[in-house]
Amino acid sequence: MAGTPAGAVPAEWWERLAARLIEGLVFGVFYYILFITLWGVFRTVGVLDVFDGRLPGVFAWLLAGLGYAGYDWYAVSRDGRTFGKAIMKIRVVPDDVPRSALLKRSLVYPGPAMLMGIPGVNVLAGIFAFAVGMLILIDKPLQRGPHDRLAGTLVVKDLR
């Protein structure tokens, strides 16, 4: 891959998973704060029962998923890694990937989290997220997911 540092070692699948789990915990808290806030707002204005009471969850997932995808795009565009990747000492290379390609990467994964609040669609979004993880496992030796292939990126161990 053009722009990939010589001697770059691809990150292990478990390092990538741990990084996403760390970030998922933080964004999970963000989701619950949003959910509780939206539940209170929708209850106050009298629309809590719309869609059988699912409206706060739909909006909370939409906003939290959009926030996660936006954060992922911004952090990788700026530093080549998110806080989870920094903790796990891995990064996205090459450094010169266009921001538009990184936006596509972030919308493919973790972008589907925006759909998790919609009944029926949430199952498909979960299957998609699982499939991305499986594709990372079976793509040897680089362990790239569809989001990496789309953007032309590789997640490597940060040996700096």
Q: What does pLDDT average to in each consecutive run of 10 residues of the chain (160 residues)? A: 75 95 94 92 83 86 92 96 97 94 93 88 92 92 93 91
Residue 49, class by beta-carbon neighbours within 10 Å (0-12 exposed, 13-18 middle, 19+ buried)? exposed
Q: Which pLDDT does position 160 carry in this prediction?
A: 72
* Residue 55 phi, psi dihedral angles, 5° rounding: -55, -45
**How many Å apart are CA 19 and CA 14, to the nearest integer?**
8
Q: What is the pLDDT of residue 18?
A: 97
| pTM as predicted | 0.88
Q: What is the pLDDT of residue 2?
A: 61
